[in-house]
């Protein structure tokens, strides 16, 4: 069966150790978490974990069932085939030199990046978009000297059209 | 009312109906032991190793259906419980293990006897807790027992920092609230599922029931018997489910799988409908997955949704505990006045009888050497099948499963999933405490008995007269069997010819002990040892290279068995 990236949304009790239980459930079965995004929901007792992992449909269903068994997991949803809005945010720090500055400013405008800080040596950019768009921006900026990157991982929400 | 944490702990245990706990003191739990000294509300059995405390609690739980309780100190006390916890986890046994922990302000500082036991046991517990706030002690304990015993049962660990159990806080049992988000049971399956099950049953000409530990855990033995007998379906049971359906019933096929009976494996391989209840298609049961029950439609009833479609993709999944599912289907059979005629089942049951005749469980008698199968058969005969048997792991376990017939639930107690050597003896102590009037026998090998032999002291201290039937071949027998069959007899590190004189060891602990070296000594030794009111070890020096048969090679189809002296069959 075909392997693909799955987006799984998990509602959990907002307690210490819960992320470790979720991560351990995947890691213990040999599955890598490709991206991870966690924060508290509007209910301060409940957090939402959105993670992506690669696997076949059958294995992902097993993972979902294993996750649903955890006492601190309230709900598991696979958003892969659901109509969702998916967004990722990347913070990108660039090293500035006399050689790359002009080209960089042109690219920043072209790519729709937001400038958060800018001084003589470095600038920090923000970019929001799908995972593929973030990948593309990073690829475009790479030749100009990326110093460091922080990505949030994918956040996803069902559209409910 | 203000109460100390240690008092709250004991009050909570009383409220949960705990009668006995197994434990071992240490610095982090000394306050709990001080409380026990003052207030012996719960009987405490001092074991000689924490692993044994957990196995004893587990044996108690399996025999009674209640939650077993163990207590250990922090650090090494806690890590010694891990094998016991993992054993209970694999077999879904309800136990609660309390461990001491260093005071909360020292956690993470590498304090003396500190270890992250909740981290260590996260993958092998159903759930675990580190109680950081004394106000949450009572509710945590209640939650722990609730989680251990409901749904698919399992072990729960509660880690208790020393300052938390020393603190004085308000305790009012009426005000304890547990977090209920996840603690309710799964919804009952729709009645349509059972109608579908009935339809599949009507259409079937060759049905087989495959039952497991879920029948025992769900206390559904009576319902299973009623269903199998009314619908005239032969029953094969996994190791974990032995006793749920009577071993001496003509419909019973024995165990399937690697060391299953020829007729159970043939029945599964030729059936057109397999109804699996409370079993999880372990690899030791299925053999090669592609050919397992390949002619059958499969119905799988299990309380744990994650067990369904895990190893085998089934045609009708039903998420339910065994008891209510069987009650539903039994009611439906009655309402529809459905019971197959003898003629409908004739061909299938005759076929099964033919398989039973072709290759019954058997062994070659020997005038010189004791055959282990003969020891178990004689044990069965002398105890009239009424003993509660625990086992260690390996050949002893398989012979105990094959040659003793279990007619009643919870009379065969064995580490199935994890396969823990050293399990059977401490488990027997837990069983005997629950059933002091029953004969409780640990069937052991000379390898595994040495893994918890120190508990002979516990048996003497509390006068727990369990019996050990030692099948002594001077080998790690099951590994040696694999070496014989699959590694050209290279017996690497399985020869245990150097061994203590087990009779003298037992006597040194104050036990009775007897030895049998020849076949004619089997019966007199068992007669002397089984019926006295003292702990007794019976050392049977068995034929050294006896193998367990039938055997399905690892990775082969279960229809391809080696029947021992006879040829491969199909």
Nearest CB to B304; choose among A17, A21, A69: A69
B357 in contact with A, Cβ within 8 Å? no
Question: Are A71 and B147 an interchain contact pair (Cβ–Cβ within 8 Å)?
Answer: yes
Return mean pLDDT, chain B.
95
To the nearest whole angstrom, how far is the Cα of A74 from the nearest Cα of chain B?
A: 7
Helix (H) or strand (E) holding B227, with range, is helix B221-230
Mutate to test the interface with B, among A71, A73, A76 (most CBs of B within 10 A): A71
- Look up B461 and say whether it is catalytic: no
Determine if residue B110 is left, alpha or beta; phi over 0 gives left, psi from -120 to 50 gives alpha, anything else beta: left
B499 in contact with A, Cβ within 8 Å? no
Residue B568: pLDDT band with limits 50, 70, 90: very low
Residue A29: pLDDT band with limits 50, 70, 90: confident
A112 in contact with B, Cβ within 8 Å? no
**What pLDDT digit, counting tens, does each position of B32-69 carry?**
999 999 988 899 999 999 999 999 999 999 999 999 99
Q: Does the pLDDT of residue B567 top 50, yes or no?
A: no
Whole-angstrom Cα distance, residue B549 to residue B260?
A: 8
A136 in contact with B, Cβ within 8 Å? no
Contact predicate B71/B32, CB 8 Å: yes
B489 in contact with A, Cβ within 8 Å? no
Share of chain B above pLDDT 90, in %: 94
Q: Does the pLDDT of residue B180 top 90, yes or no?
A: no
To the nearest whole angstrom, how far is the Cα of B307 from the nearest Cα of chain A?
A: 8
CA atoms within 13 A on the CB side of B59: 34
Q: Does the pLDDT of residue A161 top 80, yes or no?
A: no
Scan residues 41-100 of A and list those with Cβ closer than 8 Å to B.
58, 61-62, 65-66, 68-74
Query: What letter would DSSP give residue B241?
Result: G
Q: Considering Cα of B224, then B410, then B68, then B126, what sign does the dihedral take? A: negative
**What pLDDT digit, counting tens, does each position of B237-294 carry?**
999 999 999 999 999 999 999 999 999 999 999 999 999 999 999 999 999 999 999 9
Provide the pLDDT for residue A73: 95
Peptide bond into B68 cis (omega under 30): no
Catalytic residue from among B14, B113, B460, B521: B113
**What pLDDT digit, counting tens, does each position of B223-243 carry?**
999 999 999 999 999 999 999
Strands A146-151 and B561-562: unpaired
Helix (H) or strand (E) holding A117, with range, is strand A114-118
Return mean pLDDT, chain A.
93
Catalytic residue from among B7, B21, B22, B50: B50
Task: Give me the phi and psi of B554, to 5 degrees please.
Answer: -55, 130
Provide the pLDDT for residue A68: 93
Scan residues 309-338 of B and list those with Cβ closer than 8 Å to A.
309-310
Catalytic residue from among B4, B66, B126, B162: B162
Residue B570: pLDDT band with limits 50, 70, 90: very low
**What pLDDT digit, counting tens, does each position of B297-329 carry?**
999 999 999 999 889 999 999 999 999 999 999
Which residues in chain A have Cβ-Cβ distances shorter than 8 Å to B127?
Answer: 70-72
To the nearest whole angstrom, how far is the Cα of A75 from the nearest Cα of chain B?
A: 10
Q: Does the pLDDT of residue B188 top 90, yes or no?
A: no
Which residues in chain A have Cβ-Cβ distances shorter than 8 Å to B310?
Answer: 62, 65
User: How many whole angstroms from its chain centre is CA B338?
Assistant: 35
Query: What letter would DSSP give residue B261?
Result: -
Scan residues 12-31 of A and list those with Cβ closer than 8 Å to B.
13, 17, 20-21, 24, 28
User: DSSP readout, B355-424?
Assistant: HHHHS-S-----SSSB-HHHHHHHHHHHTTT-SEEEE-SSHHHHHHHHHS---STT-EE---SS--TT-H
Average pLDDT estimate for B411-420: 98
């Amino acid at each position: 069966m075909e392997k693909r990236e799955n987006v799984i949304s998990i509602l959990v009790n907002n307690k210490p150790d819960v992320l470790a239980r979720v991560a351990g459930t995947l890691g213990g079965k040999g599955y890598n978490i490709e991206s991870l995004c966690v924060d508290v929901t509007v209910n301060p007792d409940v957090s939402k974990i959105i993670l992506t992992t690669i696997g076949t449909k059958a294995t992902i269903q097993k993972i979902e069932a294993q996750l649903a068994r955890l006492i601190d997991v309230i709900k598991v949803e696979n958003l892969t085939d659901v109509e969702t809005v998916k967004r990722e945010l990347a913070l990108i720090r660039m090293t500035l030199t006399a050689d790359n500055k002009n080209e960089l400013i042109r690219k920043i405008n072209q790519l729709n990046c937001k400038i958060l800080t800018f001084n003589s040596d470095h600038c920090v950019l923000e970019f929001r978009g799908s995972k593929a768009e973030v990948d593309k921006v990073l690829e475009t900026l790479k030749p100009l000297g990326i110093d460091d990157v922080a990505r949030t991982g994918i956040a996803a929400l069902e559209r409910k059209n | 009312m203000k109460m100390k944490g240690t008092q709250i702990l004991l009050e909570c245990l009383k409220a949960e109906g705990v009668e006995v706990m197994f434990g071992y003191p240490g610095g982090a739990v000394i306050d709990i032991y001080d409380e026990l000294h003052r207030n012996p509300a719960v009987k405490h059995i001092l074991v000689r190793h924490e692993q044994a405390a957990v196995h004893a609690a587990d044996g108690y739980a399996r025999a009674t259906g209640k939650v077993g309780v163990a207590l250990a100190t922090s650090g090494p006390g806690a890590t010694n419980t891990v094998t016991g916890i993992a054993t209970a986890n694999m077999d879904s046994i309800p136990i609660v293990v309390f461990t001491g922990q260093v005071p909360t302000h020292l956690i993470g500082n590498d304090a003396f006897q500190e270890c992250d036991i909740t981290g260590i046991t996260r993958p092998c517990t159903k759930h675990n807790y580190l109680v950081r706030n004394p106000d949450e002690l009572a509710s945590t304990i209640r939650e722990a027992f609730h989680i251990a015993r409901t749904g698919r049962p399992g072990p729960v660990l509660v880690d208790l920092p020393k300052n938390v159990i020393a603190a004085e806080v308000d305790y009012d049992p009426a005000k304890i609230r547990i977090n209920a988000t996840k603690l309710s049971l799964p919804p009952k399956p729709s009645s349509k599922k059972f109608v579908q099950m009935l339809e599949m049953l009507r259409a079937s000409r060759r049905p087989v029931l495959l039952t497991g530990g879920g029948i025992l855990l769900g206390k559904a033995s009576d319902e299973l018997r009623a269903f199998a007998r009314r619908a005239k379906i032969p029953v094969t049971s996994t190791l974990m489910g032995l006793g749920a359906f009577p071993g001496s019933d003509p419909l019973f096929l024995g165990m399937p799988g690697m060391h299953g009976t020829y007729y159970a494996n043939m029945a599964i391989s030729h059936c057109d409908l397999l109804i699996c209840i409370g079993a999880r298609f372990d690899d030791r049961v299925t053999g090669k997955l592609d050919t397992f029950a390949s002619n059958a439609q499969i119905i799988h009833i299990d309380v744990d949704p994650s067990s369904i479609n895990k190893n085998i993709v089934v045609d009708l999944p039903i998420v339910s505990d065994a008891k209510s599912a069987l009650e539903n289907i039994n009611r439906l059979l009655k309402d529809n006045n459905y019971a197959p005629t003898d003629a409908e089942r004739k061909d299938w049951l005759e076929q099964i009888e033919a398989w039973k005749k072709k290759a019954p469980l058997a062994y070659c008698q020997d005038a010189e050497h004791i055959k282990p199968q003969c020891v178990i058969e004689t044990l069965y005969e002398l105890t009239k099948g009424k003993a509660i048997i625990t086992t260690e792991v390996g050949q002893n376990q398989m012979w105990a499963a094959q040659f003793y017939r279990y007619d009643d639930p919870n009379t065969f107690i064995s580490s199935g999933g994890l396969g823990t050597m050293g399990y059977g003896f401490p488990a027997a102590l837990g069983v005997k405490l629950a059933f002091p009037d029953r004969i409780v026998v640990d069937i052991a090998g000379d390898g595994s008995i040495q893994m918890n032999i120190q508990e002979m002291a516990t048996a003497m201290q509390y006068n727990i007269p369990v019996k050990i039937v030692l099948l002594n071949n001077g080998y790690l027998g099951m590994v040696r069997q694999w070496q014989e069959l699959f590694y050209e007899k290279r017996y690497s590190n399985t020869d245990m010819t150097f061994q203590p004189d087990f009779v003298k060891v037992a006597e040194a602990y104050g036990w009775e002990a007897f030895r049998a070296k020849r076949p004619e000594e089997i019966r007199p030794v068992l007669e002397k040892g089984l019926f006295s009111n003292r702990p007794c070890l019976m050392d049977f020096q068995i034929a050294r290279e006896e193998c367990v048969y039938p055997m399905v090679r690892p990775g082969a189809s279960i229809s391809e068995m080696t029947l021992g002296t006879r040829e491969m069959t199909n």
